[in-house]
Structure 1
Amino acid sequence: MIVVLFILLAITIIGTLAIRQSMVSLNIATNSQAQQLMMQNSDAATFNIEDTSNLVRSLARDGMFGFIKGAENKGKELVFCFRGSRAQFFTLSQASMIYLNNSDTIVNSDLGVNGFCRTGANTANFFTSERRAVITQVSVSFTNSTSSMPFQDSIRGTDEELSKIEKTERVVVNTTSLMPALTSVDTDEIDDCLDSHISNSSTNGVANCLAGLNVPYATHVTEYNLGQAFL
């Protein structure tokens, strides 16, 4: 009887360890798949930005780049949610602006709040695809000229006036993807990260906020030098 009990105890311990090891392996595989899926969605947003058919539209006065290219909007971030259910990649009517004012206070209401992604229960579809797994928020901003070195964004060896091109300017694009289903954090806290933090901030940005809440996310930061011929 004692031998049988020892055998049963050993089998129980081995079984428990096997189950625990399987759960750890499953969590590792799930985290890897989730990270890959979020990176793919961030890549998809970046590919849309670089698409030549979208680029011409983006440079228009109400486009993704054209709207914030003026001096009054330099340094401000134009934010929108990459929605798979939307026919157009970007529309100004579903975009928002966020920036720090002179008193270092966040301002996010200049264009309304329709551009910020929402993770809570809502009739609107803020997901990048019908799988409703990943939410991706995009922010676009031009470098403030006061913080740039003279001619640092210009094409080397090119005279802008003789070549008949506009002054080259640097634009920074942040794409942040997250999976709300993989976290138990309150949706209001996640939404606060998305609509009350600046992406380009290195200390209290969107990524810092999500990391502080232990929300799974992936962020891509891409810089472009934009110029345009005016023949």
Structure 2
Amino acid sequence: MIKQHAQKGATLIIILMILLMITVVGTYAVKQGLISLNISTNSQAQQLLIQNSDAALFALEDPNQIKRQLYTDGMFGYFYSADHASDELAFCYKGSASFYSLANASAIGADGSTGKIGTAGYCTTTAFSTARSAVLSQVYIRKNQTTTSATAVPFASVSQGTSLGGGSDQFSSLNISVTVISVLPSIVNASSTDIQNCFKQSSSNVASCFKGLGVPYNIQRADYTVGTSITSVA
């Protein structure tokens, strides 16, 4: 009788050990699955952000846009004025909507001021760049300062395809730096106010602002030389 009770006790212990092992293995499998899901989600988020940043740069490079944007109210022509030379122009990229207008742009001054030409250009939390209502993208444009003769690249300030010899036209060129930041605010608990305040930061500070909020972001920069011809007066 005692032997039978001992056998039942040993069986119970073995069953409990097996159940414990199954629990440990199951917990580990669930944990690994969550890690894999998190990695996959982060990868998909970054891919979506990169696509939106690329789309903004492609729109800016559209040949049909460039000539129009060299006018005084265009995003490049804005920098022909000496009063604007040290500004950083900012506007929210909204995809299929009108790419740029001065009425929907803002300027960040060298002193950090954000209201020089109004605040309509900064992205709000509902100004999505795609119909998926997920990503916000803001474009920054500034005029690169003239480099010293020791570091200057020959003809860097001349637009591609420009002939410098023997013509009656003069050519006015601008060396422009463009920064695009795309963010995915919907997967964090950052407030609308905090997100909108980050968009009022300069291009050199905006990434660290969103990083501090834990908002996923992608930032891309590109330099361009743009210009137009001006007929010489004899």
Post-superposition offset of 1:168: 2.8
- Give the counterpart of 1:198 among 183, 188, 202: 202
Matches within 5 A, 1:139-154: 139-145=140-146, 148-150=147-149, 152=153, 153-154=156-157
Matches within 5 A, 1:140-219: 140-145=141-146, 148-150=147-149, 152=153, 153-155=156-158, 160=164, 162-163=166-167, 164-195=169-200, 197-199=201-203, 201=204, 205-219=205-219
Matches within 5 A, 1:210-229: 210-229=210-229
Matches within 5 A, 1:103-122: 106-119=112-125
Q: What SS class does the counterpart of residue 199 from structure 2 fall into? A: helix
Q: Give the letter aligned to residue 85 of structure 2.
A: K
- Give the counterpart of 1:31 among 42, 45, 48: 42
Distance 2:96 2:51 in 1: 17
Distance 1:59 1:189 in 2: 34
Change (3 A) 1:116 1:76: same
Identity %: 38
Q: What SS class does the counterpart of residue 107 from structure 1 fall into? A: coil
Q: Give the letter aligned to residue 111 of structure 1.
A: I
Q: Conserved in 2, the CA contact under 8 Å of 1:38 and 1:217?
A: yes
Q: Residue 61 of structure 1 corresponds to which residue in structure 2?
A: 72
Post-superposition offset of 1:6: 1.1
Change (3 A) 1:21 1:227: same
RMSD over equivalenced CA pairs, Å = 2.0
Q: Residue 137 of structure 2 corresponds to which residue in structure 1?
A: 136
Change (3 A) 1:165 1:17: farther
Please tell me whether Structure 1 or Structure 2 has the larger radius of gyration of its CA atoms.
2
Q: Conserved in 1, the CA contact under 8 Å of 2:56 and 2:95?
A: no
Post-superposition offset of 1:77: 0.8
Q: Give the letter aligned to residue 92 of structure 2.
A: C
Post-superposition offset of 1:79: 0.5
Q: Conserved in 1, the CA contact under 8 Å of 2:109 and 2:116?
A: no
Q: What SS class does the counterpart of residue 178 from structure 2 fall into? A: strand
Q: Residue 6 of structure 2 corresponds to which residue in structure 1?
A: none
Moved more, 13-22 or 59-68: 59-68
Q: Give the letter aligned to residue 140 of structure 2.
A: S
- The runs of 4+ residues in structure 1 deviating greater than 4 Å are 158-163
Deviations 1:16-42 (A, max 9, x none): 110100000000011011001100000
Distance 2:90 2:145 in 1: 17
Post-superposition offset of 1:85: 5.4
Q: Residue 122 of structure 1 corresponds to which residue in structure 2?
A: none
* Count of residue pairs brought into register by the alignment: 213
Moved more, 108-117 or 76-85: 76-85
Q: Residue 82 of structure 2 corresponds to which residue in structure 1?
A: 71
Q: What SS class does the counterpart of residue 90 from structure 2 fall into? A: strand
Q: Give the letter aligned to residue 131 of structure 2.
A: E
Which structure 1 segments of 5+ residues have no match?
120-124
- For normalisation by structure 1, the TM-score amounts to 0.85
Q: What SS class does the counterpart of residue 72 from structure 1 fall into? A: helix
Distance 2:80 2:53 in 1: 23
Distance 2:171 2:143 in 1: 15
Deviations 1:103-149 (A, max 9, x none): xxx21111111100112xxxxx400111001000001111234xx22
The answer to whether structure 1 residue 91 and structure 2 residue 94 are counterparts is no
Post-superposition offset of 1:173: 0.5
Which structure 2 segments of 5+ residues have no match?
1-11
